[in-house]
């Protein structure tokens, strides 16, 4: 927001009035206000408000989260899923429980693609200072992450079903060691899923605020 003269501040602050009842107005960033007391500490409140409602807060929050949490967690989960191959080689598979191994291999591929095609490009877009992100761009990121969450839910439901106490594989039942290993894997997958669900929430909040901002700008 550009700096305004005293008269311009008054006109801007009093938009909608047929007269200008407020004088001695001040400007703080994009905010125009009237201070009624010299020691009201209002500037600190305005600084907090500016940071809280700035659209750039979403870019900062999401990019930091992906860098510090999601990318390390993705690498860790990929290693865990890769190790699953060694586990099943050490545990002879029946025809039926080979489906379980296949599902885990497919999810390993899915997670690797998500890491390469969604998380890394997203962080690149968010940290590119020369690029502006439209509502459509935010929606695309949100949809990609939501789809991964849904695919993860499908796998988790399958794991819970197959490792339940009543589930068995012919000709053998999963033993306690199998179940313990798969439960740990499910916990790792659930933790990563929770991170992506948080991303979806932040992107949705950003999208909503951006749409409101665009609407207000259009009305002005």
pLDDT tens, the chain, 220 aa long: 455 455 554 455 455 454 444 555 555 454 555 555 565 566 666 565 555 556 788 899 999 999 999 999 999 999 999 887 777 667 665 444 677 888 888 999 999 999 999 999 999 999 998 888 899 999 999 999 999 999 999 999 988 887 765 555 433 456 777 778 888 889 999 999 999 999 999 999 999 888 887 776 544 4
Domain ranges for the chain: 6-52, 55-219
Where helices occur in 42-169 by DSSP H, the ranges are 42-53, 56-65, 71-90, 98-114, 120-126, 135-162
**Helix/strand/coil for 111:** helix
First vs last Cα of the chain: how many Å apart? 14
Matching CATH number, 55-219, of 1.10.3470, 1.10.287, 1.20.120, 3.40.1350: 1.20.120
Burial class (CB in 10 A: 0-12, 13-18, 19+), 114: buried
* The model's pTM: 0.72
């Amino acid at each position: 927001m550009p700096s305004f003269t005293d008269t311009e501040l008054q006109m801007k602050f009093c938009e909608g009035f047929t007269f200008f009842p407020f004088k001695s107005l001040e400007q703080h960033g994009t905010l125009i206000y009237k201070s009624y007391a010299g020691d009201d500490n209002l500037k600190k409140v305005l600084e907090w408000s500016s940071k809280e409602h700035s659209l750039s807060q979403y870019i900062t929050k999401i990019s930091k989260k992906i860098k510090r949490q999601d990318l390390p967690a993705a690498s860790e989960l990929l290693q865990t899923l890769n190790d699953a191959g060694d586990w099943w080689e050490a545990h002879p598979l029946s025809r039926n429980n080979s489906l379980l191994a296949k599902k885990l291999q497919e999810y390993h591929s899915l997670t690797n693609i998500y890491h390469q095609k969604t998380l890394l490009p997203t962080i690149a877009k968010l940290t590119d200072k020369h690029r502006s992100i439209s509502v459509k761009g935010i929606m695309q990121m949100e949809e990609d992450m939501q789809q991964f969450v849904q695919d993860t839910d499908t796998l988790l439901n399958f794991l819970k079903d197959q490792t339940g106490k009543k589930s068995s594989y012919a000709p053998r039942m999963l033993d306690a060691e199998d179940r313990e290993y798969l439960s740990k894997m499910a916990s790792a997958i659930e933790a990563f899923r929770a991170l992506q669900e948080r991303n979806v929430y932040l992107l949705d909040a950003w999208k909503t605020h951006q749409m409101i901002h665009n609407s207000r700008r259009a009305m002005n």
